[in-house]
Amino acid sequence: MDPQEIVLITGANTGLGFQIVRALCGSNKTYNILLAGRSLVKAQQAVRSATEDFPFSRSKLWPIQVDIEDDDSIHRVFDEIQTKFGRLDALVNNAGAQLDQQLALGSMTMRQMWNQSWNVNTVGAQIMTSVFIPLLLQSNNPRLLFITSGTSTLNGTENRTLAVNKYPPKGWPKNNFDGNSFSVPAYRSSKTGMNMMMREWYRMLKEDGVKVWCVSPGFLATGLGGNQEANKNMGAGDPAEAGNFVKSVLEGYRDGDVGKVILRDGVQPW
């Protein structure tokens, strides 16, 4: 068996996904990193960029095209990876979307926005995982990660210091962002659903030895929601630090917290 661990990361050509790739490239361990994106061209560009940033990395990068909203695409990439590698040591379900603003912009109806939020963030990750379980079960140390959100915790909705939990002014309709509070109900609901989905995978795969987590990386200055600069201005953190956090999970530092939603400094309350 190839001693290099094989890690597949969805949505890896940008944002947190790309920072996870960079963190693994900088690791002392050696990986086969399958950098997956909806666009093969963008995945190839990301591979070139990471290779330039880490010219002495012992890990190898492979551009992969997969659209987690397309079952045929998922099955095609499964066949590709099965043929080339025969197993998968870790699946990082990172690809996601924050689409709530599209309703306010008029580019989506409410039904379209809610359906697509769940289709990308929850259903896509569910199907991706279900298809790839046979390859994970070929690993001696399989790991399954879902990237969730700090907005997904039910307990955390009581924290009124966070803009996402503040009460908007009286009246209707409500503004998505009024300078005091902002609303991402479809996004956060889909990630809460992901948390329960993770618990189901943990339950189903416990006796198979698969280590499963949801990883809550914090509010990051990425393009999630369509405006990286706005996220940064609202106090979003460095995505590179979150990339290193995910790397630490892949490298065994949070094995005591399997089956939970984990933060860098602890466990996220339900």
> Tens digits of per-residue pLDDT, 84-112?
999 999 999 999 999 999 998 999 999 99
Number of structural domains found in the chain: 1
- On the question of pLDDT at 221 being above 70, the answer is no
Q: What are the two backbone dihedrals, phi and then psi, of residue 47, each rounded to the nearest 5 degrees?
A: -60, -45
Residue-level pLDDT at 265: 93
pLDDT digits (tens, 9 = 90+) for 240-262: 899 999 999 999 999 999 999 99
Let me know: does 113 contact 100? Beta carbons within 8 Å. yes
Q: Which residue has the tokens 């197993």?
A: 87
Q: How far apart are CA 168 and CA 144, in angstroms?
A: 37
Q: How far apart are CA 122 and CA 47, in angstroms?
A: 26
Let me know: does 197 contact 122? Beta carbons within 8 Å. yes
The domain spanning residue 208 has which CATH number? Answer: 3.40.50.720
Nearest Cα residue to 104 out of 96, 113, 95:
113
Q: How far apart are CA 11 and CA 26, in angstroms?
A: 19
Structural domain boundaries enclosing 26: 5-267
Strands of the 211-215 sheet, one edge to the other: 60-65, 31-37, 5-9, 90-93, 143-147, 211-215, 261-263, 266-267
Three-state DSSP state, 174? coil
Residue-level pLDDT at 232: 53
Global pTM? Answer: 0.92
Give catalytic residue positions.
149, 187, 191
